[in-house]
Structure 1
Amino acid sequence: MQTKRTERQQHFLNLASIHADDFRARVAQHDQESSFPHENVAAMKASGYTALLVPEELGGGGASPLDLAFAQERLAYGDLPMAIAVNMHHIAVAMIADLWRLNQQGAGLKLEGIEPMLRAVVKDKIIFGAPVSDPKMNSSLGFAGVNDTTRQARKVAGGYVINGRSGFGTMSACADYLLTTARYHDPVEGPRCLLCFLPSTTKGVQIQNNWDTMSIRSSCSNDVVWDNVFIEEKATVSRPVQTWDALSNLTSSWWVASGPACYIGLAQAARDYAMNWISGRTQEPFEQPMTYYPGNQLLAAEMEIGLRSARATLHHTIAAHDDLATRSADDLVNLIACFQFVMESCVQVVDRAMRMVGGAALFKKSPLEQMYRDVRAAIIHQPFAGTEGKALLGRRAFGLPVYGMPRFV
């Protein structure tokens, strides 16, 4: 397992550190207002943080999954909601970049205009949103909307007209381009899932203002309604529905590399806050600080175990995915097991930090109050969370296909 950071990784980490320390000053305000931090996005555009995943050949950072994990953990240490928000942009760019790499090798799914899109992330600072989640589709079978959806596409001259709704439209508040999917019933090939790229200003794209949640409030992950939205055929990639392919594997690799890393950053911040809070504090009639309490020492030990094991598991799993061939292949058993373990561990660490601080952590003025709410989202991020994620892991552990019957519900 890699233990020393490369010069490139350190550069990305330095960028993330600058942004994390800056964003931390406003994280509580945006949480209270449930407002989107446009100023944070502007800062990340200016620094080049939003271009980390663009290939170096096209002017970007060329970050690997492990590079991204390091950077996103540090960013989330200061502002988890912002880290989660920009992560959706990162994953979209990473997936497009890997499609470009595969095309360079003469493999992969064909998509016109893919290189100009990547160059625009660097030159024009464009931001991607990826509202693919479908509230009407089972997350496991639809792979969170990537492999199947209830959104419908109708063939027209030159392209398709899309209708339907997306949930969790993270970054939709500032996105220049949107990535979504729609189901098209091809009269010859049968049901197809279209991967679509289009400007957010396209007629019929309706970004809702309905994000009012307990966790990651400032991510403003609003629903998106698609009302007779036209998309050119050349801006789509057609795949059979509910088919596990290279695109599914690429998405899985980048999501597991970055999403759990964000929550490790939050858990580390909660641990540090709690440990600092009790250090030097005394309570009558004792003279020694609260760090001497056996209960706090046990909580500290459990937090150390949780953080170290989660971080080691993530880095060990993701290091293998620095190679494009590995990312393109099915590694679901390792990825889902890693995802489940890390996310659950992060929740437990924050819970223990809350116990250590006690009642003082309940007050809105305490950063732990928001951290406790924010970490709740860790165990519901699809498609690998909860019992559905474990069921998918179990199928692959048995060597069964991702899709297949019988499937008992």
Structure 2
Amino acid sequence: MSDLFTYTTQNERKDALKEIVEDFKARAEQHDRAGSFPHENFKTLRNSRYPGLTVPTRFGGKGISLTEMLELQEIIAEADGSTALSIGWHMGIMKSLGENETWRDHVYREVAARVVEHGALLNNAASEPATGSPTRGGRPETTATPADGGYLLNGRKTFTTLAPTLDYFVVSAAIEGTEQVGNFLVRAGLPGVRVDNTWDTLGMRATGSDDLILENVALREEDYVETLGGGPKPPAGWLLHIPVTYLGIATAALAYSAHAANHYSPNSIDGTIADLPNVQQKIGEAELLRMRSRHFLYSVARKWDESTSAEREQMQGELGAVKHSVVNDALSIVDLAMRVVGAKSLAADNPLGRYYRDVRAGLHNPPMDDMTIIQLAKSTFARHP
């Protein structure tokens, strides 16, 4: 098994990762059909030390850039979209927490050490049945009640991606007796912490986005890691892990359809259907969308890497636009790929069906399309009063 920490260049890491995820492709169909969680994939990623790559170097990680993270995430997404989206949350959150020094140093350092040395995994648990997406701004119904020098946590969180294998949950909760909302670091295995296996969807079936149940979970004072403000959230470049996942899925769909066209030769024509102008039109349109998406996504990622903190504060519109554009282009790419393959794309054992269902999930990841469009409109009005 390759140790990704041993490589000194990004190209070396990319080549090694392509070999590491090869088995993910073969397992994707079985986990999609069963709606099961790909524990094998995450064991492989842990063993390769992938989870520690985005941890800043001062905490023992490799401190890779956003652009480098996206390049690696795209490779995983081409092999298995569910695994890419899942691990992407961990990679981005660990990167953001470390770079922005969001938590107290010793708390992040303790978590980072487990991530780097043992492949520990972390994700946010913020969505709830009553509040929906946290991006809409609802106050959590999960509560943190001060008790015995710490807190008692109670509530239910939905869409807790990676729940079957997480070592840490970052749980948002309303603090009883105050107007404050905070994030709490909850370790898996604490009394009162359990996962309810509720995840059963059409797409992204193998992300393990189950419900997290918290029943009188006793936490220390220091587990209160962050106070959450009530205003708009600052721009988060790491969330580009979302569109790059769907770009990877679309790329896999396009590759499948082009390969199929190059090898399908009905007896009604000479050669293969790849020689037909209507097929070339669809493949060409899909490739144009793929190229456009990659250039937009990676140009904004590089801009983020090269910008100051003040400059990043002005990038909310660009980040939202990338997600909107790439995800919707990915939908179109998969649709074109299915049109090329025809009715065979609907067969239960054809991967295009999985790509089609998986890529639609992107519409429901943040930021939502309507919020992005409204924000872009408001910024345009502001520039032209």
Pairwise same-fold verdict (TM > 0.5):
yes
**Length-normalised TM-score, structure 2:** 0.91
Match of 2:4 in 1: none
The percentage of counterpart residues that share the same residue type is 26
Does residue 293 (structure 1) correspond to residue 276 (structure 2)? The answer is yes
Give, as a single letter, the amino acid of the residue that structure 2 aligns with 1:337: A
Match of 1:90 in 2: 91
Does residue 29 (structure 1) correspond to residue 13 (structure 2)? The answer is no
Pairwise CA distance, 1:211: 0.7
Could you say what secondary structure the match of 1:76 adopts?
helix
Give, as a single letter, the amino acid of the residue that structure 1 aligns with 2:305: D
CA distance change for structure 1 residues 238 and 92 in 2, over 3 Å: closer, same or farther? closer
User: Cα RMSD between the aligned structures?
Assistant: 2.3
2:305 alignment partner, one of 305, 322, 335: 322
Does residue 272 (structure 1) correspond to residue 255 (structure 2)? The answer is yes
Pairwise CA distance, 1:109: 5.4
Does residue 122 (structure 1) correspond to residue 116 (structure 2)? The answer is yes
Match of 2:222 in 1: 234
Match of 1:381 in 2: 365
Does residue 362 (structure 1) correspond to residue 346 (structure 2)? The answer is yes
Does residue 164 (structure 1) correspond to residue 148 (structure 2)? The answer is no
Could you say what secondary structure the match of 2:225 adopts?
strand
Pairwise CA distance, 1:390: 2.7
Could you say what secondary structure the match of 1:25 adopts?
helix
Give, as a single letter, the amino acid of the residue that structure 1 aligns with 2:319: L
Pairwise CA distance, 1:367: 1.2
Pairwise CA distance, 1:358: 0.5
Pairwise CA distance, 1:393: 4.0
Match of 2:129 in 1: 135
Is the contact made by 1:12 and 1:67 (CA closer than 8 Å) also made in structure 2?
no
Pairwise CA distance, 1:39: 1.3
Is the contact made by 1:92 and 1:179 (CA closer than 8 Å) also made in structure 2?
no
Give, as a single letter, the amino acid of the residue that structure 1 aligns with 2:286: M
Is the contact made by 2:197 and 2:211 (CA closer than 8 Å) also made in structure 1?
yes
Match of 1:406 in 2: none
Is the contact made by 1:270 and 1:368 (CA closer than 8 Å) also made in structure 2?
yes
Is the contact made by 2:52 and 2:62 (CA closer than 8 Å) also made in structure 1?
yes
Match of 2:355 in 1: 371
Is the contact made by 1:133 and 1:144 (CA closer than 8 Å) also made in structure 2?
no
Give, as a single letter, the amino acid of the residue that structure 2 aligns with 1:259: I
CA distance change for structure 1 residues 354 and 122 in 2, over 3 Å: closer, same or farther? same
Pairwise CA distance, 1:389: 3.6
Pairwise CA distance, 1:396: 4.6
Could you say what secondary structure the match of 1:351 adopts?
helix
Pairwise CA distance, 1:269: 0.6
Q: Pairwise mapping of residues 59-74 of structure 1 onto structure 2 (< 5 A)? A: 59-74=60-75
Counterpart Cα distance in 2 of 1:273 and 1:87: 24
Higher deviation after alignment, 159-168 or 388-397: 388-397
Could you say what secondary structure the match of 2:154 adopts?
strand
Per-residue CA deviations over 1:318-341 (Å, capped at 9, x if unaligned) read 112225626862421111011100
Pairwise CA distance, 1:90: 1.1
Structure 2 unaligned regions, length at least 5? 1-6
Give, as a single letter, the amino acid of the residue that structure 2 aligns with 1:377: A
Per-residue CA deviations over 1:373-407 (Å, capped at 9, x if unaligned) read 1111111112x12323433444455459xxxxxxx
Match of 2:3 in 1: none
Is the contact made by 2:183 and 2:228 (CA closer than 8 Å) also made in structure 1?
no
Structure 1 unaligned regions, length at least 5? 1-5, 101-107, 401-409
CA distance change for structure 1 residues 235 and 391 in 2, over 3 Å: closer, same or farther? same
CA distance change for structure 1 residues 134 and 15 in 2, over 3 Å: closer, same or farther? farther
Higher deviation after alignment, 227-236 or 206-215: 227-236
Is the contact made by 1:15 and 1:47 (CA closer than 8 Å) also made in structure 2?
no
Per-residue CA deviations over 1:169-201 (Å, capped at 9, x if unaligned) read 1111011111121122554xxx22211112011
Counterpart Cα distance in 1 of 2:191 and 2:379: 42
**Length-normalised TM-score, structure 1:** 0.86
Give, as a single letter, the amino acid of the residue that structure 1 aligns with 2:335: D
Match of 1:205 in 2: 193
Could you say what secondary structure the match of 2:335 adopts?
helix
Is the contact made by 1:111 and 1:237 (CA closer than 8 Å) also made in structure 2?
no
Pairwise CA distance, 1:228: 2.0
Counterpart Cα distance in 1 of 2:30 and 2:62: 31
CA distance change for structure 1 residues 216 and 144 in 2, over 3 Å: closer, same or farther? farther
Match of 1:403 in 2: none
CA distance change for structure 1 residues 109 and 177 in 2, over 3 Å: closer, same or farther? closer
CA distance change for structure 1 residues 156 and 398 in 2, over 3 Å: closer, same or farther? farther
Could you say what secondary structure the match of 1:218 adopts?
coil
Is the contact made by 2:54 and 2:61 (CA closer than 8 Å) also made in structure 1?
yes
CA distance change for structure 1 residues 327 and 29 in 2, over 3 Å: closer, same or farther? farther
Q: Pairwise mapping of residues 299-310 of structure 1 onto structure 2 (< 5 A)? A: 299-310=282-293
Q: Pairwise mapping of residues 212-223 of structure 1 onto structure 2 (< 5 A)? A: 212-223=200-211
